[in-house]
Amino acid sequence: MGMVFYIIINFMEQNYLPLFRKYRPQSFKDIVGQESLVRALSNAIELNRIANAYLFCGPRGTGKTSSARILAKSLNCEHGPTLEPCQKCASCIDITNAQGLDVIEIDAASNRGIQDAKELINQVQYAPIHGKYKIFIIDEVHMLSNDAFNALLKTFEEPPKNVIFILATTEPHKVLETIVSRCQRFDLRRITIEDIVKRLREISDLENIKITQEALYTIAKNVSGGLRDSLALLDQVSILGIKEEITKDLIEELLGKVNFDILLNLLNQIYNQDTQAAIICVDEIYSKGNEPRNLAENFIEFLRNVILVLNSTNPENIKNFSSLIDEDIEKINALNFDKDKVFKILNTIIEYYKEIKVSTNPYLWMELAVIAASRLDLSAIQNQNIKPAAINPKIAAINMQAPIERPIERPIEKPIEKTENKQIETEQKSTPSVQPLKETPIEKPQINNIQSKDSAQIWMDIISLIPSMPARAFYKGVAKLVKIENQTITLGFLNENTLVQAKSSSKMPQLENAIKAFGVDYKIEFSRIDENTKIIEIKPSFNRPQAQNQPSRPINQTPQQNPINTPQMQDSKQEEQMSENEKKQYSHKVQEMIEQFNGRIID
């Protein structure tokens, strides 16, 4: 029975071998994309200047362990040292199969302790049996403990004759400097897309895999410069390429990427401000199994490629730095996008992506991102007017005071001439800059009168000065205004989680800056609220126009000065009606959540 099992396993191994193992480099000429390493090791072998220890560093799949095996094979081949091992002698076969007694491969991840280091030191004492060198290949050497590193120091510095250490790691910064200084270090770079595509095409032809050139480029651009990962992906789709041709769309589906045409359709709907169609598109993508975070990442990458197309006239450069093909570039150019507006859409999606990554309800934030991006006619003004001088006229006066105040002090420190006329001129020049400083504090008591009568409007005006859309939505929807009195704003929250978010480093500074921009020295207090807590009702408004874009009521104006049917009240009625219409732009699922939780679901 055991013999039959052995024959079956042996038969399976002979008939199927993964492509990354089947086409693993066996000599220096097979190594792809590491010309400097090949040149240095080839010269060392030809000149017989072999070091006692080597350190190969680089990302995964770039050829570290393969280079170590090839170096060992070149040194221990029965015809060696040679640049072209015979691949037939016992030593070459043992090294290819990771067997033998003269070339020992050690996995530092599972042999990382000091006891393992002592066993390695004991093995160093034995002479090679078949080859000329006894070679130790230590993979993932950064996993060794500090005690193990220290135990190997002396052995690395003065190893026995004909003993060579070859270390391989993806994280060289974790290797002790005392070890690195005793090795010849070689940094392997990421393999270029052209080299990967060339190698994949060669292997595809040998294996009779039908695959388009665009599909090969898609593989090469999604493996982070690792040839092994690209071969693994090609091996995964090779079964489908026996009867039919493998296309770019199939590779993207396998990688979990959203199709180019779907993303282009989504961008076109957002660009044309068709919010309802854009949300339906997002829902369809979500229904197919794509998570909101994955969709946001794909859409950000897609928008980056669109901006690259809109800013470049050379299609070859575009194809080199993106995953687009000629057909994709033509589709983008045919829609005549405005690059500035696409860039604003990209900024909006990136801003909401920060919340999508950490939110417990990422789908809702993805919908909010699409709605905000499709309404850039309302929010673009806010994004451009981040400077306080453009938001609040009082801040403009404060900004003018700061640079004028400094030059006034310096002339006074200089020796003043005895001429009285010059002193008078200096005083006259300083007078205009001093006046605004005295006027600004006078208005604060008048603001306190408004706080007790129109706290909701004061709070909405402060929120409108928050530059970050997610933070503004949080304080507008999750935070509940309890009261504004005694120069203090009290905000309430339903649970501890939202209370912690309000005090977080990403939201709290933005609220404080908005209060400073409002021009009043308010303090902020947070508290837990329950059903019995009285809160100031603020009507929900989705992406309403910011307060700074509308004529605001003078601070010293009292309510009696306003007629019953003022323009401000008309605007308020229009905003209330607009908010009800804007709710309809959400999907049915989100509308139910909004009605049930009244804005609290943004948490």
What does the alpha-carbon distance between residue 149 and residue 142 come to, in Å, rounded to a whole number? 9
CA distances in angstroms from 168 to 54, 108, 140, 185, listed in the order given: 8, 10, 6, 10
Instruction: Kindly list the structural domains of the chain, giving each domain's residue range(s) and its CATH number in brackets, ordered by start.
Output: 19-187 (3.40.50.300), 193-254 (1.10.8.60), 264-384 (1.20.272.10), 445-547+578-602 (3.30.300.180)
Q: What is the mean pLDDT of residues 552-568?
A: 43
Check residue 552 and give its pLDDT.
Answer: 40
Q: What is the mean pLDDT of residues 172-200?
A: 90
> Which residue shows structure tokens 């029975």?
1
The answer to whether the pTM exceeds 0.85 is no
- The candidate with the shortest Cα–Cα distance to 75, out of 97, 52, 106, 108, is 52
What does the alpha-carbon distance between residue 64 and residue 226 come to, in Å, rounded to a whole number? 11
Q: What is the mean pLDDT of residues 74-79?
A: 88
Q: What is the mean pLDDT of residues 42-49?
A: 90
Check residue 587 and give its pLDDT.
Answer: 61
Q: What is the mean pLDDT of residues 64-89?
A: 88
Number of neighbouring beta carbons within 10 Å of residue 527: 12
Q: How confident is the model at residue 244 (pLDDT cuts 50, 70, 90)?
A: confident
Check residue 465 and give its pLDDT.
Answer: 84
Q: What is the mean pLDDT of residues 385-407?
A: 40
Model confidence pLDDT, tens digit, residues 421-444: 444 444 444 444 444 433 334 333
Residue with the bigger pLDDT between 80 and 64: it is 64
Q: How confident is the model at residue 300 (pLDDT cuts 50, 70, 90)?
A: very high
Residue with the bigger pLDDT between 600 and 64: it is 64
DSSP-assigned states of every residue in 466-494:
---HHHHHHHHHT-EEEEEETTEEEEEES
The two tokens of residue 586 are 């959400």
Name residues whose C-beta falls within 8 Å of residue 268's C-beta, 6 or more positions apart in sequence.
Answer: 335
